[in-house]
Amino acid sequence: MKNKLAIVTLAILLIGCATTPQSTMTISPEVRKMSYADERLFRDLLTQIGGIGFAEHVMFPHVKSREVVKIDAIVPYDNRKTGVERWTIKHDDQEICSYLVRFIPDGQGGTTFSVKKDSGTKQ
């Protein structure tokens, strides 16, 4: 009986870890246009593990609303060299947090990305 309980508990934990958070962020069309990411890459940044949506849910789990208020292209991405953008997100209409997003070409037409909290922003 203890083994069954342990297996069920482990399965629940693994299922919880394997799912990616759904994006609850709002983004105006004007702000969306500020990013050099194509539609698929942009969606992946919002929904995939390691993206902005994932980082937001991990770092700010109790925030109810998130809005991307600005995207600054520090180094525009062109699918040949690494690009960098700063995404600024407003939480619950008050606190602001920024992330640095790196777009890294894989040399075969694809792109990987990394997201890191911009130093100097609150947590």
Mean of all residue pLDDT scores within the chain: 83
In a domain? residue 23: yes
Gap between the Cα atoms of 6 and 43, Å rounded: 36
Q: What percent of the chain lies above the pLDDT cut of 70?
A: 77
In a domain? residue 122: no
Tell me what pLDDT residue 9 has.
47
Give 107's Cβ-side CA count (13 Å radius). Answer: 0
| Angle CA 107–19–46, to nearest 5 | 55
Gap between the Cα atoms of 34 and 21, Å rounded: 24
In a domain? residue 35: yes
Position 30, amino acid = E
For 49-110, the DSSP string reads TTSHHHHHHHH-TT---EEEEEEEEEE---SSS-EEEEEEEEETTTEEEEEEEEEEE-SSS-
Tell me what pLDDT residue 10 has.
43
Tell me what pLDDT residue 122 has.
53
50: left (phi over 0), alpha (psi -120 to 50) or beta: left
Report the SS3 class of residue 119.
coil
List, for residues 45-59, the tens digit of each pLDDT value: 999 999 999 999 999
Does position 71 have pLDDT exceeding 90, yes or no? yes
In a domain? residue 123: no
Q: Find the domain containing 24 and state its range.
A: 2-117
Does position 21 have pLDDT exceeding 70, yes or no? no
List, for residues 73-89, the tens digit of each pLDDT value: 999 998 889 999 999 99
Average pLDDT over every residue of 2-20: 47
Domain count, the chain: 1
